[in-house]
């Protein structure tokens, strides 16, 4: 049992589907029964633990799980909470992931006289992130009362429990529906991969290394494209400038066409129609843009 890697992911919420998708892209096959708290990787010595996102840093901190996928907002709040208790946070942030993007922001009711963070002085601010908010207020020298709620923060002003709120925002539609206006960003967040800094036992090391490399590969190909085109040799410098985020393109001679070459390159960003039009303008033809499925640097 101890030789199997354990990964904590959110049981049911905004990160669940993306976390499972990431692991699936890394080649993991698993079977998950409804409401199951743990599931076994069928083709890797790796098990998934399904928990509330707030519990993920603790599980990794206590070395119950080797790895965890969780929002930066949760990590930062835990880090500050541990710090306040004099406990050094033991989890280590390995990589940021391309999902779960949001921001923690201050929002005020319509009609609130907002000028700058000083407008919060003496006010009650409802939040689920008291440590992050307190640090932000302290950095700005603002004294306010932080009202800690475990959820439904956006209705606190209407219920008279707070004057303003500090909550996670992605599209802003929840704020609009509750007649609140976003005025300041406290922090930007996205999902991250954390790991225990406790040395991983030798029997788990190989799979940890392979999984981290695969996650890195999956993250790298997001938005990447493979582009192939024919161009006059003389246009190579312009082509290199036009290909977004490409490194060292491959240049191949074309049989019987001394003046034209084929160029193949991996672009680390999306390739837009405008780029293709500009490539055509410098003499490119037979341009093909393909998605990249896997990449191992
Ligand atoms: O049960 P559990 O504790 O596991 O779940 P949870 O309810 O605490 O978390 P969940 O599933 O809501 O969010 C998990 C993580 O997703 C968060 O910690 C963030 O890292 C990330 N995330 C990304 C978000 C949002 N976007 C988000 N929009 N988390 C919450 N929200 C909420 C926000 O609190 C507000 O109620 O969505 C509402 C605002 O959304 P918009 O689109 O209307 O602005
Ligand atoms: Zn939570």
Asked if the model's pLDDT at residue 268 lies above 90, the reply is no
pLDDT of residue 257: 86
How does pLDDT run across 209-256, given as a tens digit for each residue? 999 999 999 998 888 899 999 999 999 999 999 987 777 899 999 999
Closest Cα to atom 33 of ligand 1: 168
- Asked if 195 and 94 touch (Cβ cutoff 8 Å), the reply is yes
Q: For the chain, which domains are there?
A: 5-99+191-220 (3.40.190.10), 102-189 (3.40.190.10), 225-291 (3.30.70.120)
Ligand 1 midpoint to CA 168 (Å):
6
* pLDDT-based confidence at residue 1 (cuts at 50, 70, 90): low
Pocket of ligand 1 (CB under 6 A): 10, 13-15, 52-54, 71, 73-74, 100, 102, 154, 167-174, 189
Task: Provide CB contacts within 8 A for 94, sequence distance 6+.
Answer: 67, 192, 193, 194, 195, 212
pLDDT of residue 269: 80
How does pLDDT run across 113-172, given as a tens digit for each residue? 999 999 999 999 999 999 999 999 999 999 999 999 999 999 999 999 999 999 999 999
Tell me the Cα Rg of the chain.
25
How does pLDDT run across 35-54, given as a tens digit for each residue? 789 999 999 999 999 999 99
Asked if the model's pLDDT at residue 7 lies above 90, the reply is yes
């Amino acid at each position: 049992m101890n030789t199997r890697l354990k990964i904590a992911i959110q049981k049911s919420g905004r990160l669940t589907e993306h976390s499972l998708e990431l692991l699936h892209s890394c080649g993991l096959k698993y079977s998950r029964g409804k409401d199951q708290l743990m599931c076994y990787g069928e083709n890797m010595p790796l098990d998934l633990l399904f928990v509330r996102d707030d519990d993920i840093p603790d599980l990794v901190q206590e070395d119950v799980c080797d790895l965890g996928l969780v929002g930066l907002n949760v990590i930062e709040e835990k880090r500050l909470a541990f710090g306040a208790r004099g406990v050094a946070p033991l989890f280590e942030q390995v990589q940021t992931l391309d999902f779960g993007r949001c921001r923690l922001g201050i929002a005020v009711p319509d009609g609130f006289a907002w000028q700058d963070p000083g407008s919060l002085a003496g006010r009650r601010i409802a939040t689920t992130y008291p440590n992050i908010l307190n640090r932000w207020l302290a950095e700005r020298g603002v004294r306010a009362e932080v009202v800690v709620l475990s959820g439904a923060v956006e209705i606190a002003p209407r219920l008279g429990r707070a004057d303003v709120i500090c909550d996670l925002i992605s599209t802003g539609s929840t704020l609009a529906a509750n007649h609140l206006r976003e005025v300041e960003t406290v922090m930007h967040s996205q999902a991250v991969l954390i790991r225990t800094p406790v040395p991983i036992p030798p029997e788990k090391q190989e799979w940890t290394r392979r999984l981290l490399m695969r996650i890195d590969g999956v993250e790298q190909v997001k938005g990447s494209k493979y582009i192939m085109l024919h161009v006059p040799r003389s246009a190579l410098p312009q082509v290199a400038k036009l290909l977004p985020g490409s490194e060292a393109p491959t240049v191949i001679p074309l049989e019987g066409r001394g003046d034209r070459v084929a160029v193949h390159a991996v672009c680390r960003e999306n390739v837009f129609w405008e780029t293709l039009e500009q490539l055509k303008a410098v003499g490119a033809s037979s341009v093909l843009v393909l998605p990249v499925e896997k990449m191992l640097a």
